[in-house]
Structure 1
């Protein structure tokens, strides 16, 4: 499998899921983030209608697999359950998993890929949640101790086991984790509940003030691409 030693040899492959377990615009925003960053990645879409199917073989060629936002967890997991074993083996063997919103839910265990030292949960249903509805809106988070406002659409929070080996990058106003990075086997997993990768049209399309949060999305990517200790 490719290793995160950029700057030497061929460009490293990043696979972004696009298909029925995502929504239009979500895979494209993640792909643009990865393609425009400083990581020199060869970004390709993977999915049932893409040139690269999501298989153990395609994952074996990749450095990172990104699961973007989408619809409901139950429906998405039904679509992706056949790939659960391949995704777990990919990360356990040294790959990187990057999950945005639905991708964060899917990193959990009930249901999901079981990549976290704990689970994902619905933020709007958590005690004291500052967002109650399922519509597109904004949410406040503290990202590495600094207050930021981020696009949000019924995203997850994360419930960590006691003594979990994870670095929390951001918290919601309730203190529950909104973004984190952790190890899984020899690989790394980074997940986020809100959408720091959101482009301007996501905001304007829902009459929301535009927030510039790509620096947060890049921070998440940097965290997952670091070599696992």
Structure 2
């Protein structure tokens, strides 16, 4: 299977796209990095999954990627798969974003009842499939589901107060899986930020997310 991983201005700082690519390779997928200009229907048609990694601010990323909105929506609706981490999760939302979710996104840090108001690097405990797991977190999204979101939406993880931290859902004949935290983070992400390295690393959660989008 083949994965396309976006690597361009919206994936900066360096390392975000590479971490997602490494996770996908460990999952057994062939990985190709693509720029904004390469996000065409013809290139996307070669991929089993398109991955949007973390990066900088949502507003700046959207200015860079908004012209690819219909292209990505058509790809997923036609049977493609979208995998989003942190900024990639924000971009799956609607205001602004590709509008791939049965709802929208908002900043988790500082949201009502949130466990943190800090938008910097930290280790945040989430409940992933009912099990407490510490994950790397850096100003990730909270996923806000519509009241009429269907039973085919699977909530994979919740933040400490219960907000949705990761989910998988259909879009057209395709599928979407997104995470607010960074389960793809390697040990260097933690040590570089002066944070304790979880044992075990939560990369198994990243593989679970990939399994869900490929289901």
Structure 1 length-normalised TM: 0.90
Quote the offset at 1:126 in angstroms: 1.2
For each residue in 1:183-227, what CA deviation from the matched residue of structure 2 results, as whole angstroms up to 9, or x when unmatched?
A: 00000000000000001100000110112001100000000100x
**Is residue 2 of structure 2 the alignment partner of residue 13 of structure 1?**
yes
For each residue in 1:108-129, what CA deviation from the matched residue of structure 2 results, as whole angstroms up to 9, or x when unmatched?
A: 0000000000001100131111
CA distance in 2: counterparts of 1:120 and 1:67, whole angstroms: 15
- Of the three residues 184, 188, 193, the one matched with 1:197 is 184
Indicate the residue corresponding to 1:215 in structure 2. 204
| Pairwise CA RMSD | 1.0
**Is residue 126 of structure 2 the alignment partner of residue 141 of structure 1?**
yes
CA distance in 2: counterparts of 1:62 and 1:111, whole angstroms: 25
For each residue in 1:119-158, what CA deviation from the matched residue of structure 2 results, as whole angstroms up to 9, or x when unmatched?
A: 0110013111111111111111000000011000000010
Give unpaired runs (5+ residues) of structure 2: none
**Which stretches of structure 1, 4 residues or longer, exceed 4 Å deviation after superposition?**
none
- What is the number of equivalent residue pairs in this alignment? 210
Structure 2 length-normalised TM: 0.96
Quote the offset at 1:68 in angstroms: 0.2
